[in-house]
Chains A and B, each alone.
Chain A
Amino acid sequence: MYGRKGCQLVKEIASGEKEQLTPFNSDLFDQVIAECSQHYVELQALIRNMQEKGLDVQTSKNEDHFGALIHHLSLVRNKRCLTSYMYNRAEILRNLIWKVGPVLPQEILEKLSHFEKEYFKKHSASLKSYMSRIDLDLAVDMVPPKDPYIQVRVLDDIGEGIVLSDEKSVNFARHSMHLLKRTDAEQFIARGLMEELTG
């Protein structure tokens, strides 16, 4: 009560490693929401108390009023903690599009709540429509380019018959090396499926 749990939730984000996503703590999240309901119930009770005494709730400042005020402030505080938790996670989520691409790997999906998955989907969709409206793919060239083509090695079985932007189909067997269009390779590297070879 009185904002302790809400703060724990926020601390979880603060203590996590930078740019790393922690699993959505629905347990603690629900507990904070339950606390909010509890505060609301107690606030109502205090106000009823005042009404029973025949006091004007708007203007009288007695001990019940101050009690209700503390419950109100705790509610507002919890709200701030909850929204901040969501907001800061949403910010990491929005960045994921740039870092990993619109298809999230399992290890990240596991950490998201149902609503976050929805949010991510919708955000990618609106970004996509924005990009098609300005006729420019913003998701490539995350690092300023040097050459149109780069040498890569496949780290994981990606599968056969992947169609690249030049409409050629390639077989990316593990450990095979390819000279790819930089813009094609970029997403595979970001997802840890390929590595760039230099020198």
Chain B
Amino acid sequence: MAGQSDPHPSLFSADEVEFVAEDEMIEIVPNMRMEPLNLLCGDYGPFFPQMVTKVPIWLAIALKKRGKCTIRPPPWMSIESLTQILESERESQESFQVLPFHYVEISRLLFDHARDDIPDVYMVRSLIEDIRDVRFHKVETSLESFEDARSSAVRIKNLSAMEVNIVRPFVGRALQAFYKHGSPDLIPNPERMSNSNANRWQQAPDQGQRVCYELMHGVILKSALYEKDKGFDNDTRHCSTQARSCYIRMLARKIVPVFFGSLF
């Protein structure tokens, strides 16, 4: 119901969304020679000086921090492209321009770690902030139109990960309220009601939860194998296993309540 107490207001924290974004690929220009990296998440390299290659952002940042490469900002992060996007965002009140799903996180990561690799970094940064503001304002306006729709639904295309994450707790609750009050069986028959009272203690976990549990439990079993990979002295390789096992922990923690729930 709208506004029942909810211990998990947001499914993912901004840091977690950023972590997921670090798996997006980006181009780097190495300044060193290195054998290919065969990591859990894939094989990257070999690396040769001045030869452009594609790696996940987390790896690009790790190499950049150690002075081993420069990062090539993605094509959409140019003044021309951003100016055009901003204009189109402002022109159309309904639609959202197509931007990478993780544009908020990617741009922040690059501003933090590779600002010297981005031409006109200040301008680019302020353009992205403007775009984000315009878009978020539009999200709010679209959410207001819940009211007009008979179906209590709103369709917003091309939203990005962070934008979705910000409105998720609010929209989730609001939708629940709309559905609850809009549903025709607000007045249930008495028989069913007393049944539901009796069953309060033994509500079966719903299908979704079980599927989620099974999926994630599989992940955990695998992770035990992953952990054994640790202990390479290669710094970068170490980074990778570390990062992966964190992700697995993150998922694993989310299922612990389900796991123990079945014991009580």
**A and B: interacting chains:** yes
Residues of A within 8 A of B18 (CB): 144
Given A127-B256, A141-B250, check contact A148 B245 (CB 8 Å): no
| Residues of chain B with a CB closer than 8 A to A126's CB | 260, 263
For B224, B243, B249, which residue has the most chain A Cβ atoms within 10 angstroms? B249
- Summed over the interface, the residue pairs from A and B with CB atoms below 8 Å come to a total of 53
Are B246 and A144 in contact (CB-based, < 8 A)? yes
Q: Does B252 contact A (CB under 8 A)?
A: yes
* Min C-beta distance of B41 to chain A, whole Å: 14
Is A144 in contact with B19, judged by CB distance below 8 angstroms? yes
Interface residues of B in 237-253 (CB under 8 A from A): 238-239, 242-243, 245-250, 252-253
| Interface assignment of B7: CB less than 8 Å from any CB of chain A | yes
Nearest-Cβ distance from residue A128 to partner chain B, whole angstroms: 12
Q: Of all chain A residues, which has the CB nearest B252?
A: A138
Known: A127-B256, A144-B19, A144-B247. A134 touches B242 (CB 8 A): no
Given contacts A141-B245, A141-B246, contact A136 B252 (CB under 8 A): yes
Q: Chain B residues with Cβ under 8 A from A134's Cβ?
A: 220-221, 223-224, 252
Shortest Cβ distance from A73 into chain B, in angstroms?
12
Chain B interface size band reads 20 to 34
B179 on interface, CB distance cutoff 8 Å = no
CB pair B15–A143 under 8 Å, yes or no, is: yes
Q: How far does the alpha carbon of A75 sit from the alpha carbon of B129 in the complex, in Å?
A: 58
Bound CA span A135–B245, Å: 12
Known: A144-B15, A148-B238. A138 touches B246 (CB 8 A): no
- Taking A141-B250, A145-B243 as known contacts, 20 extra A-B pairs with beta carbons closer than 8 A to each other, sorted by chain A number, are A94-B257, A126-B260, A136-B220, A136-B224, A136-B245, A136-B249, A136-B252, A138-B249, A138-B252, A138-B253, A141-B246, A141-B249, A143-B13, A144-B19, A144-B247, A144-B250, A145-B246, A147-B239, A148-B238, A148-B242
8 pairs across A/B with beta carbons < 8 Å? A95-B7, A135-B227, A136-B249, A144-B15, A144-B16, A144-B19, A144-B246, A148-B238
Show the binding face of B for A, using Cβ within 8 Å. Answer: 7, 13, 15-16, 18-19, 220-221, 223-224, 227, 238-239, 242-243, 245-250, 252-253, 256-257, 259-260, 263
Going nearest first, the 7 A-B pairs with the smallest beta carbon separation are: A144-B19, A141-B246, A135-B224, A141-B249, A145-B246, A138-B249, A144-B15
